[in-house]
Amino acid sequence: MPNKFRELPLYFLLIIFLLIGLFTFKDYGLSWDEPLYYDYGKASQYAYSIPAHLDGTFELEKSYGKSASDHVTRGPAYLLIGGLLEGLLEKFGLDMASAWHLTNFLTYLVGLTFFYILTRIWLDPWPAALSTAFFATQPIFWNHAFINPKDIPFTVFFLISMVLGFRMIDQWEDGPKIRQTILPGIFLGITASIRFIGPYAVILLFLYFLTKRNWKSLWMFVPYGLISILTMVALWPYLWPNPVERFISVLQAMADIPANLKILFMGNEYRAYELPRRYYPALLAATLTEPTWFLFFIGVATSFYNRIKHKVDRAKLAAIFLWFGIFITLLIGLNPPNSDAYRHYLFMLPPVFIFAGLGIHEIIKRINSQWIKYIVALLILMPAMYNNIALHPYQYAYFNTFYGGTRSAFREYETEYWLTCYKEAMEAFNDVAPQNTVIFIKREPYIAAYYARPDIIVYDYRTDLNNAQPGDYVLINSRTNDDIKTLKEAPIFLRVGRAGADFCVVKQIP
């Protein structure tokens, strides 16, 4: 195949995903603190206001937005970069939520490109594309790709940092030059600004560097590190007054998950710091599609022994394995406080699907019939494809058949934990509610207010319940089964759910 057509499978895949995204991005509702997070990004633009700096009126705190205590612990790098496209999309007529959801999804497609680039180290174009499709269509990734401006962008930039880092270290073989560290350093700095754990990429890359035994290039990590630190600080205004001290305060803040946050796991409610060690392994087994771990273990078992003969490729694969292996070991061993399943740690999962891709290739190459190869590929992708359609737009509520599916997991595990069902619930409520109806929202009323009809009065259930009158309504999410614990005797006016699970209900006050 001519070189210009060699990567045709990737282009084919991206076009299909782009078309699906363009037809569906408006279906996804705002998630838990999306509006506040986007407000933080917009406020951060003030930090780069030249007039405010020149006329002496600049106040750094104005760049923190309305949720400073929540969000300054994350740099606004992605919000600043993505905000350029989001603002353009708003000018073309999209509302804020839809514009950001499309921006997030396009960022995800960039990440898929770099995932494909990684798999191409070991696989030919078509197996690499199949591996990318298997990764991309995982329900939890597909849904978060639209609604999650924190963890998906971090995953994307972590992937970019790893790809550029591998190439940088390989280039040092031909003679180290400082210019080789500029682009990798910038992207690593952006990654660290999005999430403080970004320098984990440096550990993995350094382990790869050790296998090269290219000791004369060791000093190149100095400019690489300096460029990344300068980029991180430049894109994180909160750090400006005292970068070292404030970065340490970020580490301390991120270690403290709110104690009053409860998580439903195996039918029991736990506080964030009480979760059992089996939490992460159980959810990883339950929320990835059925073939995932089977293919992963085939890939691990065969790759090091049968297939990877080139030393450089073998060393990179070892770094990829450690990318997942080290982090999951730390999660289980340290058992840190947590919330929202493992969304904070989505970035550790690309290696699972790289090895799954090697497993897919190992199976398919042993099949002689081309048609049977197509059937096997379809069977591998089918669970994700079916559930992405059946659960749309709540794919992240997916549980595989080993756990009985979403229907059986409901009331035992958290399913729709990020309140995105408010969109569908309020749009349905708008269609039937009388003029000037009052509705109380159990959590995060600003999300429901975004979708409410102009005449509908939205109150916060937790602070304004004294204003309630018989006949008013209450919107409740089913996180920690809150929908059955709140107003137990009140009749359900409407419900939103999928696959036998209720994600939101609207009750009418008796």
Is the distance from CB of 180 to CB of 220 less than 8 angstroms?
Answer: yes
CA dihedral 447, 453, 454, 460 (to 10 degrees): -40
Residue among 182, 191, 193 at smallest CA distance from 234: 193
At 126, phi and psi to the nearest 5?
Answer: -70, -45
Q: Does the pLDDT at position 253 exceed 90? A: no
pLDDT in tens, 274-294: 999 999 999 999 999 999 999
What CA–CA distance (Å, rounded) separates 279 from 264? 11
Q: Is the peptide bond before 393 cis (omega within 30 degrees of 0)?
A: yes
Q: What is the predicted pLDDT for the residue at 66?
A: 87
| pLDDT for residue 309 | 58
Secondary structure class of 453 (helix, strand, coil): coil
Answer whether residue 259 shows pLDDT above 70: no
Mean pLDDT, residues 456-473: 94
- Listed in sequence order, the residues at least 6 apart from 405 whose beta carbon sits closer than 8 Å to its beta carbon are 399, 499
Please classify residue 403 by burial: count the beta carbons closer than 10 Å to its beta carbon, then call 0-12 exposed, 13-18 middle and 19+ buried.
middle
Report the predicted TM-score, pTM, of the whole model to 2 decimal places. Answer: 0.96
- Which of 2-16, 297-311, 457-471 has the least mean pLDDT? 297-311
Q: How far apart are CA 156 and CA 457, in angstroms?
A: 39
pLDDT digits (tens, 9 = 90+) for 306-359: 655 565 588 899 999 999 999 999 999 999 888 899 999 999 999 999 999 999
pLDDT at 257 exceeding the cut of 70: no
3-state secondary structure (DSSP) of residue 262: strand
Q: Is the pLDDT of residue 459 over 80?
A: yes
Helix (H) or strand (E) holding 263: strand 262-265
- The percentage of the chain sitting over the pLDDT mark of 70, rounded to a whole number, equals 97
Stretch 157-176: mean pLDDT, rounded?
A: 96
| pLDDT tens column, 121-156 | 999 999 999 999 999 999 999 999 999 999 999 999
